[in-house]
A = this chain, B = another copy of it.
């Protein structure tokens, strides 16, 4: 019943060897280095199997200083962007015997510091940050300089940290091109927070794409959201429609902002897409079920998670490996929220 959990000593005793030998026999690397006879290896493994031995990760961690754990910091799990990414991360980590420790920061620097220091004392082997501001000070403050780090969906300004993200500019360009092909010329942008890399990247992508299309982009065609929320989107969109430039299309910084636009348009009696087309970014689940179904820039969330985990594992193995910055291609999913511009 309450079988006292079987330890390495038990295995060793059963195999008739010293615990140290048993340890080496069960350890891939030392075995490979030929430090132990293949006969005894077989005997030990047999014993381990018979006893259904599994090593105590706690004891192991204490000695090896590795927890086989990586901390994953996100603003808020409730944001539908993150669950698929997290699943990707966890699935890939599990393959290598690692687990993820989640931490929600709610975009609050204090909370972020708290969570981070908690992760440090829990001795995570690496850190995945989906919360990075463009300039990142928290890390150095907390003296976790030696910890492997990978960013998700965010890039720091100087690209000094490895990261996985989609090409924001390319995605926005696809949106703009799509709108232009529908005949739109008065295209506005609801920009996300500029201290976040996505917010800034998408704004500059918007400007570049507009210029490439030969369209003017004045200051009145851009509004800045305080954060990536529905409410902020509504607020911004209200400004846009109130202004004299009557945009026929809006490129939102993400889907939340786009949904906010829906609401503001409704309030002002404008129809989407008949009067104003709207494009989002992220293609969160259920965006196809919105009314109207949202045209959005999609990128492979789950795959991003996989790649992130891959990267952090690599860096844990070889902390000094070159700093990879990986971009996954975006894709425009055209749905009902964009339409040909109404002939005036």
Chain A residues with CB under 8 Å of chain B are 1-3, 54-59, 61-62, 67, 76-78, 80, 82-84, 86-87, 90-91, 94, 99-102, 104, 118, 121-123, 143, 145-146, 259, 262, 285-286, 289-292
Contact = CB atoms under 8 A, between A and B. Distances in A.
A154 to B, nearest CB: 20
Contacts of A262: 289
A83 B143 CA distance: 31
Given A101-B99, A122-B57, A2 B291 contact: no
Given A286-B286, A289-B291, A290-B291, A83 B87 contact: no
Provide the main secondary structure of the chain A interface: mixed
A1 B3 CA distance: 46
Given A3-B143, A62-B62, A123 B259 contact: no
Contacts of A145: 1
A62 B67 CA distance: 13
B67 A78 contact: no
Contact of A290 (B62, B77, B99, B289): B289
A83 B102 CA distance: 12
A77 B259 CA distance: 23
Contact of A58 (B62, B76, B101): B62
A298 to B, nearest CB: 15
Nearest to A99: B101
Given A83-B83, A101-B99, A143-B3, A121 B54 contact: yes
B123 A102 contact: no
Given A143-B3, A291-B289, A67 B77 contact: no
A67 to B, nearest CB: 7
B76 A67 contact: no
Contacts of A2: 146
A87 B104 contact: yes
Contacts of A61: 58
Contact of A285 (B80, B104, B123, B146): B80
B76 A102 contact: no
Contacts of A91: 104
Contacts of A82: 83
Contacts of A90: 77, 102, 104
Contact of A122 (B80, B99, B118, B290): B99
Q: Which of A55, A59, A145, A286 has the most CB of B within 10 A?
A: A286
Contacts of A55: 121
A290 B87 CA distance: 25
A2 B144 CA distance: 9
Contacts of A121: 54-57
A59 B62 contact: yes
24 contacts: A2-B146, A3-B143, A57-B121, A58-B61, A58-B62, A58-B123, A62-B62, A77-B87, A77-B90, A78-B83, A82-B83, A91-B104, A94-B118, A99-B101, A102-B102, A259-B286, A259-B289, A286-B286, A286-B290, A289-B289, A289-B290, A290-B290, A291-B291, A291-B292
B285 A78 contact: yes
